Amino acid sequence: MSLLELHEVHGYYGNIHALKGVSITVDEGEVVTLIGANGAGKTTTLRLISGLLHPKKGKLRFDGKDISTMAPHMVLRQGIGMVPEGRGVFPRLTVRENLEMGGFIIKDKNDVRKGIEYAFTLFPRLKERENQKGGTLSGGEQQMLATARGLMSHPRILLMDEPSMGLAPVLVDQIFDVIRELNAQGTTILLVEQNALMALSVAHRAYVLQTGSIVLSGKAVDVANDENVRKAYLGL
C-alpha cells in the first residue's frame, strides 16, 4: 500500500475543471515530482492533498485513510506537511516565531525546541537571522524558513511547491541539496517544480501533468530521457 494515493481525482475552481481524473501514488521514502507547464494542475494537486480544496470526484488516501474531505488542520495532523508556493512566511513574525508557528500542533515544548535546533542545523543562515522579521529576509532566506517551518510538525510526507522559484542558481543548488538530505534522513517528498531538470535529478519517480491530466509517468530517469519531455521541459 502506498503512503499517499490519489485515485481518479477531479478538482475544480468554480466551473473551471482544473484536474481531470488524476491518479498518482507516493511510496514511503520516495521523492516523487510533478512537472508541467504553468496551469497544468500541479499546485491544484497539492492544494487538494493538503485539504485547501476538495475533489468533486475521486479519492485521496494517506496511509490507508480517506482524507478527501478532511480540513487542512486535520490533514496536517495526519502527517502531511506543506511548503507553499511563494513561501508564505509570516512577515511580522521573527524567524523563531515563524518556526514556532510551524510546530503549533506539537504539545511538547521541548519537542518544538528540538525542531528549531534542527532547523538551525539544516539552515545555519536562519540561526544568524533568528530574531529578524520574516518579511525582511531575502528570497532565499524566506525559502529556507518556509522549508524549515514545514518540517516543524514532523511530517511523514512533505509537499513542496516550486521551492526554487525566483532564486539565484547557487541557492537553487542549496535547496535541492537540502531535499536530498531530507530524503536521505527518511522524509518522503512530493515535489512540484518548474525546474524540471533539477526536479528529475532528485526524484525517484515523476508524473508529467498537461492541462489537468497525467500524460506520462515512470522512473525519473526514464521520464528525463523521454524525447517529448526533453524538448518541452528540459530545453534539450
Q: Give the pLDDT confidence of 204-226 residue by residue, as tens digits.
A: 999 999 999 999 999 999 999 99
Q: Are 215 and 21 in contact (CB under 8 A)?
A: no
What gap in Å lies between CA 202 and CA 190, rounded to an integer? 11
Which residue(s) pair with 80 in the sheet?
A: 157
Q: Residue 199 above 90 pLDDT? A: yes
Residue 236 has a pLDDT of 63
Phi and psi (nearest 5°) for 129? -105, 20
pLDDT tens, 124-152?
999 999 999 999 999 999 999 999 999 99
Residue 168 has a pLDDT of 87
Of residues 76 and 167, which shows the higher confidence score? 76
Name the percent of the chain lying above pLDDT 90.
Answer: 88
Give how far Cα 131 sits from Cα of 5, 62, 90, 97, 135, Å: 40, 36, 13, 8, 12
Residue 166 has a pLDDT of 86
Instruction: State the CATH architecture for 1-79+155-236.
Output: 3-Layer(aba) Sandwich (3.40)
What gap in Å lies between CA 60 and CA 78, rounded to an integer? 13
- Domain range list for the chain: 1-79+155-236, 87-150
Task: Taking the CA atoms of 59, 83, 154 and 52 in sequence, report the sign of the dihedral they define.
Answer: negative
**3-state SS string for the chain:** CCCEEEEEEEEEECCEEEEEEEEEEECCCCEEEEECCCCCCHHHHHHHHCCCCCCCEEEEEECCEECCCCCHHHHHHHCEEEECCCCCCCCCCEHHHHHHHHCCCCCCHHHHHHHHHHHHHHCHHHHHCCCCEHHHCCHHHHHHHHHHHHHCCCCCEEEEECCCCCCCHHHHHHHHHHHHHHHHCCCEEEEECCCHHHHHHHCCEEEEEECCEEEEEEEHHHHHCCHHHHHHCCCC
Q: Residue 87 above 90 pLDDT? A: no
